[in-house]
Structures are given as C-alpha cells and as structure tokens.
Amino acid sequence: MGRALIGDSLGFHLLIVIFGVGLPLLISLLELYGIATKRPRARALARTWAKALVILFIVGAVSGTIISLQLDLLWPKFMDFIGETAGLAFVLEGTFFMIEAVFLSVYMLSWDRFKPIWHWLCSVPIVIGSIGSAIFITSANAFMNNPQGFKLDAQGNPVDVNVAQALFTEATFTESFHSITAYICSTALVLLTIYVWLYMKKRHAADRSWMRKVMGGLAAVAVVFGILVAIAGDLSGQYLAREEPHKLAVAEALMETQTNAPLIMGGIIDGNEVKYGIEVPSLLSFLATHRFDAEVQGLDKIPPEDRPPLIIHYFFDGMVVIGAAIVVIPAAYLALRKWRPAWAHRKVVLIGLLACGPLALLATELGWMLTEIGRQPYAIYGVMRTSDAFTTSDAVMRLGILFPVCYVLLLTIAIIILRKFMHHEGMTKS
Amino acid sequence: MITAAVVIVCLMFSVYMWMASIEFGIALLRLWPRLDTGKLVNKLFTPMWEVTNVFLVFGFTGFAVLFNNALVPISHAVLPTLAVGVTALLLRGSIVLYLFYYRPKEQGLTPGNAAFALANFLVPASFTAVGVYLLTGQAFWLTASGWSLMAMAISLFAAMGWAFVYLRAGHQAGLRLQWLARACIALFALIGSIGVQLVVSRDAPHLLTLTFSVVSLLAAFSILWQGALLTTRRADHGMWWYLSAVSLAMPLLMAFANRPWLVYGQHTLEQAYGAQAYGMAVLLGLGAIFPVMAIGWGLLAWLLTHDKPPTSGASGV
C-alpha cells in the first residue's frame, strides 16, 4: 500500500515536473530570442506558453505539497533517517520552488509594464528556481540510491554526518544531468506534438507557415537535448556499473557475473531469467565501462532477498528504445526540411512527430520507475528496507483509496483546462 | 539552536495560516455574494494562492527534519487528523482550477463554492488540530482544553478571513460584512481572553505560563480596539494589521507556552531535536528565504497596486 501510494503521487507529480523544469527555460530562451532579433511574434508566443505554465505550476504545487506531507506522515522512519543526514535537500528544494513561484507571479504581471529586457530578466530566477529545485530533490533521491556521508552506530543510527557528502554524490550529478535534460527534451517534444496536431487541422491552414518555424525550432531543441540525454545516459550506465551494480544487473537481466557481458534487448521474463531476448555479445561490458572485456556484476552476487524485481528490465528497454526513437524522428524531420522539404510535412512524418510527445513522457516515467523500483527492496539502499520505513498506522488504507481518485480528478481538470486554454487563448496566434 | 528551530518552524506555519485565512474570507464571499458589494471576489480570487502551500511544506518539512527523533510517534498519532486535511488540500487544487477557469464569476451557494469554502476550512483546521495535539498530548476532541484551543484558533482564523475582505476593502464593503467581521473578532477575543483561560486552568495547567497570558491579553485588546473603532465609526486598517500580527505570533507564543515539551507529556524539544549536523544550515536556508521573498513580493506588491500605464507603445519602469 505504501509503495502504491507514493508511486501514484510521484508518477502524477513527475508529469507536471517535466513541464515545470522544461517550460521556464524554453520560454526564457524564446523571449530572449524575440528581444535579440526584434521579433514580437516570438515574445507573444512566449507569453502564450507562460500562461500554460501557470496552470501546470499550480497543479504541480498541489501535488508537490501532497508528496512532502505523504513522506512525513507515511514514511516517518525514512524521514527520521533522512532528517539526520540529507534532509537539507528537501529544505533547499522548497526554497528554490518559492523563488520560482514568486518570480513567476512577477513575470506574468509585468509583461506590458517592464521594458522587454527587464521583463526577460524576471524569467531568470524562474529558470534558476526550477532547475535548482529539481537538482536538490534529485540529490535526495541520489542519497537514497547510494547513501554516503555518514556512519552507522550499533543501533543503526547515523553518526559523523557530512552533509555536503550526503547531498553531493556522484549519483547527484548523473541523475540530475540525465533527468533535467530529459525534462527539457520531453517538454520540447510535447510542444512539438501540440503544434503538429494543430498544423494537421485544416482550420489552422492560414498559420501553417508560422507553425512550421515553431515546429522546426522545437525539433532542434529536442534533438540537442536528446543527444545530451544520451550522453547523460552513458554516464549513468558507467556510474551504475561502479556504484549500483545490482540495478544494472537487473535492468540488463544479467544473471551471472562475467566478462564480455552481453546486452540483452527485449525478451520475456520467465521466473528468474529472460527468454527470447536479443543478445549482443560484449555490448553491456562496453556500455558499462567502455571496454568490451570488462567484468560486469550479475545477479548471482546479490542475495535473492535483496534483488529488485526483474520487471525493470522492461522499463530499461522501453526507456532506451523510446529515447532513441524520439531523437531520431525529429532529427529526420530536420534533415528532411533541409534536404527534402517536399517530404518534410507529409502525413507519415507528421504522425511520427505526433507520437514523440506522449512517448517522451512515457520514457521519462519509465526511467524513474527503473531507478525507484530498481532500488527495492530498500528505501535507502543497504540501510533501510522499504517495509521498515513505512508507517504502521491503519488510517493509511483510507488514503490508499482516496488519493488515486483525487489525482485522476486533478489531472482530468488540468487537461480540460489546458485544452480550453489552447482553443481560446490561441496557440496559433502570431 | 532548538529555540531558533522552534521560531522558524512556527513562523512558516504562521505565514501559511495567515494567507489561508485570507483565502477563507474570499471563499466565504463567493458563498454569500450579498456581502460582496464591492465585487472584491473578482479581483482577489486567483489560483496563485495555491503557491501558499509552500509555507505549509516548509513548516512541515522543517518540523520533520529538525525534530525527526519524534517524527515516528507523532506521525502515527496525527495521521487520522491530517488525512482529512491532506485530502482536502488535494481536492482543493481541482476545485480552484475548475472555479477559476470555468466559473470565475459564479457566486452563491453552489456545490463548487461550498466545496471551495469547506476545503479552505478543513486544511487549516486539520493542521490546527495537530498543533492542539502537540500542546495537550491528546487529540483535541478528547479534552475540554483541546476544544477550547481549537475554538480560539478557528475564531481567529474566521475573524482574519472576514477582516481581510472588510477592513482592506474599506468603504467598498457592505454593512453586513462589517458586522460579521466585528462579530468574529469579538468571538475570538472572548474565547481567547476568558474562555480558554478558564478551561486550560482546569484541564491543561501546564500551559498557564507568561506567554499564554500574553496570548489572552492580545485577544482581549482586539475587542477593546474594535469597541473604540465602533464608537468613532471608523474602519481602521490598523485593526487588520493588528490581527495579522496576532495570528503570526500565535503559534510561536503557544509553542513557547508549551516548553520544554514538543508533545506535552511525551517528547521534549531536546529529545525530539535531531538535526545536529546541519540544523544551522536549515535555519539559515529558511531564514534566507525571507529577503529573497521580500524582493519578489515587493515587486509583486508594486505591480498589483500601481495601474498599468496607458498603451502608448512605450512601456517600462
């Protein structure tokens, strides 16, 4: 029940966080572009996107509040431990969020009242706030995956705490780099999906020329950040091989420790093995260490009671395959625009672009499911099991039923409002 | 360090309750449009109020990381109470979006407005109930002092809500609104100055400290001030600021009245305080918010109170 509750909350919140991190940066860059090139259309578009950001920000504020309260109420032993070690991360995350919130209000109210460059400067704290809060909440998660900066006494309590070491681990860097670039890439792709969908509607035929420019820009952003996601993913893979070999072993369904470890793609999980997967010899060793003959730890080195569920193999494969597709498709679109413009806006290409937005969201969700379920059965790896971290109160059953219903309601209303916003505000206005 | 931790955590909750009371007043105006002769709701109702939740998060997270040694038993004890508030918080998000984007001008006793007002009451009420648990060591419904402390807090909360829309609106507010605000202020004053003292002296004498007496004096003074305003027939915005100061100080004064306990009879502040390694960093971080917020809020207040320049093509500060 505890895993389900926090999983519901985090899964929902993540959908909003993606835009909470990606949209401020895109809006800020777009407005700066408009100012620098003296293009009022670009500024007008930034203003439209900012209004959508406000709606999503409000939803994110609600879900984020719920998660913080859930952690304190439902996972008190976990928070007790974190409170002694890396709790500062939660405080700093909230601080950056507050900066973002206040300056978002200033930004929205000052469009016609500040000079453009001063108005754009108001977007900078929003970007800093969004990325800062993402980094610090990710650092808390990094601590959970690879706890450092403390020793345990005989009773299992943390002593000799080094807060900086607890907050800023190698996992903090790899997770933050990977997740933040993924959020920005996903945001660009979702916006691209929206504009492709509008482009395909006949009633927006008059705006198609302008929309093609927007689509090109968004595709370029998606490709650039998609490549960064891939680089971050490579760094993450090497990190996992060094510091979290259990997670890599399960993600890759590597049963035995071996050199020249093969990469298993796809397949069907059958008990404790993966059948019918495609094996590429030595590729896992190379991805993990950049050496084909390196040893990669398998599940045989992990006691059965400490192994994460093998299902994360699907999450990993899904994330990688989708991640590759959503970079290749917009890259192909850009290439067609450059060298075969007549083909670039054919239906088959547009449908491919249309799929990229939802797929990007799915890939991001799969990535976080991989990292969280891959840490099981631990809440703090090697220190505290998930079953020990959860509350013993019976009242949690009521929440278990209510919360998913409330989240579905909130998401439904948010989507309805965003659709209404798109129609009436005019995502196509220039 | 422990005292600083208490001050900072209480301040976070104070700011949240202060802003929540304003939103409660706005919610009540949506329910009773006859009171809203100045059409204040249209100007005041905005979903950006949801951002005030961050102070709730600061307060709760600060409490959890600073007093983590007592978090397990406290969370177990308050979960049933807070489950109500947390659910109301989640529902309120949906209601706010629905009302603002679909029914922004709708007033009167509609399901949406009633749900909005109820949610705006339940969230702070549930957190107040947690505060009463800390002060008495029991759920509020089990003792007379629990009930009287809840009544004092809720009457102040309601008074703040009405007073904001009445006293800040000034001449735009209707007569009924004025008298409702005054009645709530009087109720708070009576409960806070006399009622709660009588009950607490029997039920929870450990609270009868100097700081608790200050709470009662502050409550009593509010009715004296209100009486003076009535005789001079003035609407004084100073009353609003006075009530604001009282509501901001209240959690801190009550926490000091409860010393050395964090949860009366169960956990002392010293036993509960666990953030030895980085308590100062947390406090500095939380304290550093305020100057940054001051800059942002200063800009925001300027934007809200100064009219837009005429659209002559030139804009700027």
Model pLDDT for residues B123-159, shown as the tens digit of each residue: 989 999 999 999 888 888 888 888 888 888 888 888 8
Query: Of chain B residues 63-92, which have a CB less than 8 A from chain A?
Result: 63-66, 68-69, 71-72, 74-76, 78-80, 82-83, 86-87, 89-92
Instruction: Note the pTM of the prediction, 2 decimals.
Output: 0.86
**Chains A–B, number of C-beta pairs less than 8 Å apart:** 220
pLDDT tens for the 430 residues of chain A, in order = 667 777 878 888 898 999 999 999 999 999 999 999 999 889 999 999 998 998 898 888 888 888 888 888 888 888 888 878 888 888 888 888 888 888 888 898 888 888 999 999 999 999 999 999 999 999 999 999 999 988 988 888 888 888 888 889 889 999 999 999 999 999 999 999 999 998 888 666 677 888 899 999 999 999 999 999 999 999 999 999 999 988 998 888 888 888 888 888 888 877 777 788 888 888 888 888 888 888 888 888 888 888 888 889 999 999 999 999 999 999 999 999 999 998 888 999 999 999 999 999 999 999 999 999 999 899 999 899 988 888 777 666 666 677 777 888 888 888 888 887 777 665 554 4
Kindly report, residue by residue over B166-204, the tens digit of the pLDDT: 766 555 556 777 777 777 778 888 887 777 777 777 777
Contacts of A409 in chain B (CB under 8 A): 91, 94
Give backbone dihedrals phi and psi of A269, rounded to 5 degrees, phi first.
Answer: -75, 125
Please tell me the distance in Å from B263's CA to the nearest CA on chain A: 16
Q: What is the DSSP string of B52-108?
A: GHHHHHHHHHHHHHHSGGGHHHHHHHHHHHHHHHHHHHHHHHHHHHHHHHH-TT--S
Q: What is the DSSP string of B138-193?
A: S-GGGSHHHHHHHHHHHHHHHHHHHHHHHHTTGGGS-HHHHHHHHHHHHHHHHIII
Name which of B80, B90, B285 is nearest A92 (Cβ-Cβ).
Answer: B285
CA-to-CA distance for A274 and A254, rounded, in angstroms?
9
Q: Does B48 touch chain A (CB under 8 A)?
A: yes
B291 vs A194 pLDDT, higher one: A194
Q: Does B104 touch chain A (CB under 8 A)?
A: no
* pLDDT score of A140: 93
Residue A158: in which H helix or E strand, if any?
strand A158-159
Query: Of chain A residues 74-113, which have a CB less than 8 A from chain B?
Result: 74, 76-77, 79-85, 87-88, 90-92, 94-95, 97-99, 101-103, 105-106, 109-110, 112-113
Name which of A85, A92, A106 is nearest B303 (Cβ-Cβ).
Answer: A106
- Given a cut of 50, whether residue B314 has pLDDT beyond it is no
Query: Of chain A residues 210-269, which have a CB less than 8 A from chain B?
Result: none
Contact B79, A73 (CB under 8 A): yes
Name which of B89, B281, B316 is nearest A88 (Cβ-Cβ).
Answer: B281
Q: Does B9 touch chain A (CB under 8 A)?
A: no
A214's tokens:
């927007």
Q: Does B297 touch chain A (CB under 8 A)?
A: yes
- Given a cut of 70, whether residue B236 has pLDDT beyond it is no
Query: Is the CB of B288 less than 8 angstroms away from the CB of A95?
Result: yes
> 3-state class of B213 per DSSP?
helix
A241's tokens:
């091989």
Q: Does B210 touch chain A (CB under 8 A)?
A: no
- Given a cut of 50, whether residue B313 has pLDDT beyond it is no
Query: Of chain A residues 377-406, which have a CB less than 8 A from chain B?
Result: 391-393, 395-396, 398-399, 402-403, 406
Contacts of B75 in chain A (CB under 8 A): 72-74, 76, 391, 393
* pLDDT score of A263: 86
Please tell me the distance in Å from B126's CA to the nearest CA on chain A: 13
Instruction: Please tell me which residue of chain B has the smallest CA distance to A67.
Output: B57
Query: Of chain A residues 131-190, which have a CB less than 8 A from chain B?
Result: 161-163
For A169-200, b/e burial (b = at least 16 CB within 10 A) is bebbbbbbbbbbbbbbbbbbbbbbbbbbbbbb
Query: Is the CB of B48 less than 8 angstroms away from the CB of A58?
Result: yes
Name which of A79, A95, A421 is nearest B68 (Cβ-Cβ).
Answer: A79
Residue A258: in which H helix or E strand, if any?
strand A258-259
Rounded to whole angstroms, what are the CA distances from A228 to A174, A281, A384? Answer: 12, 26, 33
Contacts of A420 in chain B (CB under 8 A): 101-102
Contacts of B71 in chain A (CB under 8 A): 72, 76, 79-80, 83
CA-to-CA distance for A69 and B71, rounded, in angstroms?
12
The residues near B56 (Cβ < 8 Å, ≥ 6 apart) are A65, A69, B12, B13, B16, B127
CA-to-CA distance for B182 and B184, rounded, in angstroms?
5
Name which of B58, B275, B304 is nearest A87 (Cβ-Cβ).
Answer: B275
Please tell me the distance in Å from A11's CA to the nearest CA on chain B: 15
Name which of B64, B285, B309 is nearest A95 (Cβ-Cβ).
Answer: B285
The residues near A50 (Cβ < 8 Å, ≥ 6 apart) are A27, A107, A108
* pLDDT score of B38: 62
Query: Is the CB of B65 less than 8 angstroms away from the CB of A105?
Result: no
- Given a cut of 70, whether residue B14 has pLDDT beyond it is yes
Query: Is the CB of A88 less than 8 angstroms away from the CB of B297?
Result: no
CA-to-CA distance for B275 and A86, rounded, in angstroms?
10
Name which of A77, A98, A406 is nearest B91 (Cβ-Cβ).
Answer: A406
Residue A76, preceding peptide bond in cis (omega within 30° of 0): no
The residues near A99 (Cβ < 8 Å, ≥ 6 apart) are A125, A128, A129, A132, B292, B296
Contacts of A110 in chain B (CB under 8 A): 299, 303
A120 vs B108 pLDDT, higher one: A120
CA-to-CA distance for A96 and A139, rounded, in angstroms?
14
